[in-house]
Amino acid sequence: MPPEQENFYLIQVIKELLNLVEKKHGKDNKAIVASNIMYVVGQYPGFLKSHWRFLKTVAKKLNEFMHEKHPGVQDMACETYLVIAKECKEEFSKNQGEEMPYLGSIINQLQMEIKDLEPHQKRIVYESIGWMIKACQVPAERETYLHRLMDPENIEWNNILQAVQTQGIETLKNPNTVKEIDFFVRINMAVATSVGECYSSYLKKIYMPLLNVYKVYSQTISFQVQALGMGAASDNMTKTLKVLRKNILRLIEIFMKNAIDLNELANLFTPPLQELMSDYEQNVPDSRDPEVVLLFSTIIECLKDKLATGMEVILEKLGVCTLKMIANDCQSYPEHRLNYFLLIKNIVLYCFQCTSLYLLF
């Protein structure tokens, strides 16, 4: 439809739904219709972009629904919030003739607005705000908003690191601490996904401690596998740590795929990852993290010939030991197998000139 006709149609639909809210009795019925209104307006970002006051009203109403306990309403509110944030992100970071861009108010009130949400719903909201931050035109403002967004989570992260310093690394194995770190990593994954290259300014603050946490968990998994053998596969804590360990590397991988400054990526973020290859090589096969192989496959894809001088180490520490794991049959270690061939594929595509590759063949 032409924009004018589309706008007229949308307004009529919203009016009818608002009338339905008035006619229906019972909180549950009203919540269902109100949720439908939010869904409908989320399908028309063009209308929202051209009507800032209405867009702001919708955003506030979605925040209200984030506190509503009726089944499905909170999920609807968070998912619609993400849709609107992606499609209308520029509007939230603009100065709309108010005291400050509405994005600033959103971040100021965020902890209050998400206090009733489940962890997976909070991650959606964080990702949504990341899209709004990405739309900021001034790089310094983007970084300021990002750090303000992550400040509450960073406080919890620093408390964990302080506890490790005073009480020892065993603190990291406390189930509550593992849960908190898992939430912290997943929130960062959500933000890194949406905010893009700007995320590097925050990752620098947590990068080395995060890698140290990874090493502790990797060593713990290796010890459990050696101690329990096949029983480690059914041990809840071991399974939890494997997922958390994988997500730490996925966070780094998400950042690298969005990175623009390849020199910073090559000289600042990549060298500390060398220890992960040693950890991978030294672990028993059943405790090796296939995400390590995938991460270095991504690094090769991003850096291409900038990484050529390190190819021999990658092939020696990742390629050789992984090849031994998968060479005996065609079924064992499926994740390692897939990531190994992705690694070789990217080496062939981007670093085939390396002498070490000819030696391997």
Q: Which residues of the chain have pLDDT under 50?
A: 355, 357-361
Predicted pLDDT at 355: 46
* CATH of span 1-137: 1.20.1440.250
The verdict on pTM exceeding 0.75 is yes
Q: Position 172: which residue type? A: L
Q: Look at the block and give the residue holding tokens 């063949």.
A: 361
Domain boundaries, the chain: 1-137, 146-255, 261-361
126 close to 191: Cβ distance less than 8 angstroms = yes
> So what's the pLDDT on residue 230?
67
Distance separating alpha carbons of residues 292 and 294, to the nearest angstrom: 5
What pLDDT sits at residue 361? Answer: 46
CA distances to 79, 93, 187, 229, 357 from 62, rounded to whole Å, are 10, 18, 20, 49, 55
- Mind listing the pLDDT tens digit for each residue in 209-235? 999 999 999 999 999 888 877 677 678
pLDDT tens-place string over residues 144-173: 999 999 999 999 999 999 999 999 999 999
Distance CA(354)–CA(333), nearest Å, equals 28
- Reference 241, options 253, 228, 254; nearest CA is 228
C-alpha–C-alpha distance, residues 240 and 233, integer Å: 11
What pLDDT, on a 0 to 100 scale, did the predictor assign at position 145? 97
Helix 290-303, helix 236-258: angle, nearest 10: 0
Task: Output the six-digit token pair for 330.
Answer: 């065609």
DSSP track, 11-74: HHHHHHHHHHHHH--SHHHHHHHHHHHHHHHHT-HHHHHH-HHHHHHHHHHHHHHTT--STTHH
The pLDDT assigned to 354 comes to: 61
- For 348, other C-beta atoms within 10 Å of its C-beta total 10
Is residue 271 within 8 A of residue 263, CB to CB? The reply is: no
The residue type found at 267 is: N
Neighbours of 334 (CB within 10 A): 11
Q: What would the pLDDT profile of 14-51 be if each residue is shown by its tens digit?
A: 889 888 888 888 878 888 888 888 888 888 888 899 88
